[in-house]
A = this chain, B = another copy of it.
Amino acid sequence: MTEISSLGEFGLIRRLTENIKTVNDSTLKGVGDDAAVLQYADKQTLVTTDLLLEGIHFDLTYMPLKHLGYKAAVVNFSDIYAMNGRPRQITVSIGISKRFSVEDLEAFYEGLALACEIYGVDIVGGDTSASITGLCISITCIGESEKNRTVYRSGAKNTDLICVSGDLGAAYMGLQLLEREKAVFQGETDFQPDFAGHEYLLERQLKPEARKDIIKLLNDNDILPTAMIDVSDGLSSELLHICNESGVGCRIYEDRIPIDYQTAAMAEQFNMNLTTAALNGGEDYELLFTVPISQHENVEALEGVKIIGYICESTLGACLIARDGTEIPLAAQGWNSLK
């Protein structure tokens, strides 16, 4: 184990960044100057940023640093895809306390680098700092989109269909499972966590993917969503964002919300309401989007995409239609860690 202080700031930065190669034409200069230099020419430039704080967004008890690096990058890529864009560069700032070793940070950077390799993204800069408290990670992602093909939250129209990729609630159930095993583990010395049959839930929580494939699928099928957002805070919050920004209402059907078998089984074990988990769980990083009703057949034919409802006039509000036909207004959650 190498202590960070043995390298110093500049030595540490060199060690972490020396193997970084850039692959995108738009990256003219990456790490190593006052700023990265990019060239986007006739494309639009997209910028998104995420702050991840220890104890709030991740728990190092069960989150390996390599996975954390991977996830920290991917959640930013997801925001770029949600604009119908392609992520191209990230900057990575980390605040680290003494308890971390150089090898810990290398593991974190390995995760980052792996995500960047898979998604075709360059690491072009950042800031490394000491922290007197926990681990602090701030990633900014820059991407590109074609003019006139950038998709906002604000374009949903009355009668549009509401679609979602993949399935929902699994990352949240994965978190519940990890928290349970952590609680059981407290104080035990010879502990084997019980994760059998729940691998999918853990993967969704610890190693999420951004839906690059869905963006490609939509483009290949010449479908341009009218509005799009990624599901980071939960389906309910994200739908309300689209409705508010577009000035519309919506109806989604409880029985159409895509849920994986493992998610359902785990919810039953925990005696939790499955729909609540899917609506408010968050961290799914699926794409939620709307398309004109004329695209009904095209969208229905897409593998991995499900139509879950429709956009209506704003006066009708945003509601879930439950299995018994009752309408339940959707509520935003957001974080409440400050309460």
Contacts and interface: CB of A to CB of B under 8 A. Distances in A.
A98 B338 contact: yes
Contacts of A140: 47, 49, 91, 140
Interface in A46-72: 46-51, 53-57
A49 B138 contact: yes
Contact of A47 (B9, B89, B96, B133): B89
Contacts of A9: 334-336
B53 A129 contact: yes
Interface stretch (A17-25, A31-39, A180-188, A255-263): A31-39
Interface in A69-106: 79-80, 82-83, 85, 89, 91, 93-96, 98
B53 A133 contact: yes
Interface string A266-304: 000000000000000000000000000000000000000
Given A50-B93, A136-B136, A34 B79 contact: yes
Interface in A120-171: 124-127, 129-134, 136, 138, 140-143, 145, 147, 150, 152-154
A234 B57 CA distance: 35
A244 to B, nearest CB: 9
Nearest to A50: B127
A258 to B, nearest CB: 21
A320 interface: no
Contacts of A334: 8-10
Contact of A136 (B50, B51, B89, B150): B51
Contacts of A143: 35
A152 B29 contact: yes
Contacts of A40: 40, 45
B129 A339 contact: no
A259 to B, nearest CB: 24
A274 to B, nearest CB: 25
Of A9, A51, A54, the most chain B CB neighbours within 10 A belong to: A51
Contacts of A126: 49
A150 B55 CA distance: 41
Contacts of A48: 34-36, 91, 125
Contacts of A138: 49, 51, 93, 138
Given A5-B339, A8-B336, 17 more contacts: A5-B338, A10-B332, A33-B83, A35-B79, A35-B82, A35-B143, A36-B46, A36-B48, A37-B150, A45-B142, A47-B91, A47-B124, A55-B133, A132-B337, A136-B136, A140-B140, A142-B142
Interface of A: 4-5, 8-10, 28-29, 32-42, 44-51, 53-57, 79-80, 82-83, 85, 89, 91, 93-96, 98, 124-127, 129-134, 136, 138, 140-143, 145, 147, 150, 152-154, 228-230, 245, 332, 334-339
Closest 8 CB pairs of A and B: A133-B133, A9-B334, A138-B138, A130-B337, A35-B48, A51-B93, A34-B82, A38-B45
